[in-house]
A and B are shown apart, each in its own frame.
Chain A
Amino acid sequence: MAFDISTLDLDAIERREAAKHKGSTLKLVAAVGFALLWIVPFYFLAISIFKSSNEYSRNPPLALPEGVAPLWDNVTRAWELGSMGQAMLNSAFYGTVGASLAVFFAAMAAFAITRLDIPFRNGWFMLIFAGTVFPFQMYLIPLFFGYQKLGLLNSHMGMLLFYTAICVPFPTLVLRNFMSGLSREMDEAARMDGASEFTVFFKIILPNTIGPMTAVFLLQFTWIWNDMLFSTVLGNRLETRSIMNALLVFQGSYSSIGPNIVLTAALLASLPSIVLFFLLRKHFMQGLQVQQS
Chain B
Amino acid sequence: MDRAAKDIELLERIGMDQIARNARARRRGQLGLGLIFMAPALLMVVGVLLVPVLFNIWLSFTKWKKFTGFGEYAGFANYERMPSNPFFNEAFINTAIWVGASVVFPIALGLGMAMFFRNLRGAETFKNIIFIPRILAPTAVGVLWFYVYAPDGLLNRGLGLVSGRDVDIGWLYNDATVTPAIIATFVWQTAGLVMVLLLLGLAAIPKDPIEAAHIDGANRWQIFRYITLPLLMPTLLMVTILSVLAGFTVFDLLWVMGANYPGQRSLALAVFMYFEAFQKGSWAFGSAVAVIIGLVVLCVTWLQTVLQARVDRMTR
Contacts and interface: CB of A to CB of B under 8 A. Distances in A.
Note whether A and B form a binding pair: yes
Interface of A: 24, 27-28, 31, 35, 38-42, 44-45, 48, 57, 60-62, 102, 105-106, 108-109, 111-113, 116-119, 121, 124, 127-128, 130-131, 133-143, 145-146, 161-162, 164-166, 168-169, 172, 197, 201, 222, 225-226, 228-229, 233, 244, 247-248, 251-252, 259, 262-263, 265-267, 269-270, 273-274, 277, 281, 284-285, 288-289, 291-292
Given A248-B139, A292-B235, A116 B49 contact: no
Contact of A61 (B157, B197, B252): B157
A165 B49 contact: yes
A35 B50 contact: no
Interface string B2-20: 1011000000000000000
Interface of B: 2, 4-5, 26-27, 30-31, 33-35, 37-38, 40-42, 44-53, 55-56, 59, 116-117, 120-122, 126, 128-130, 132, 135-140, 143-148, 150, 152-154, 157-158, 188, 193, 196-197, 200-201, 235, 238, 248-249, 251-252, 255-256, 259, 269-270, 273-274, 277-278, 283, 286-287, 289-291, 293-294, 297-298, 301
Contact of B137 (A61, A124, A269): A269
A145 B255 CA distance: 22
Interface centre among B130, B144, B152 (most CB of A within 10 A): B144
A204 B256 CA distance: 47
24 contacts: A44-B144, A44-B154, A61-B147, A117-B27, A124-B34, A127-B46, A130-B45, A137-B249, A140-B290, A141-B56, A141-B59, A166-B48, A226-B137, A229-B251, A233-B278, A266-B140, A266-B144, A267-B140, A273-B135, A274-B135, A288-B200, A289-B200, A292-B235, A292-B238
Contacts, number: 250
Given A124-B42, A127-B42, A140-B290, A262 B116 contact: no
A246 to B, nearest CB: 10
A229 B274 CA distance: 10
Contacts of B45: 127-128, 130-131, 165, 168-169
B305 to A, nearest CB: 11
Contacts of A197: 33, 37
A274 B193 CA distance: 15
A288 B197 contact: yes
A228 B138 contact: yes
B278 to A, nearest CB: 7
Given A112-B35, A169-B45, A288-B197, 12 more contacts: A24-B120, A31-B120, A38-B188, A44-B148, A48-B147, A112-B37, A118-B34, A133-B301, A142-B55, A228-B255, A259-B147, A269-B137
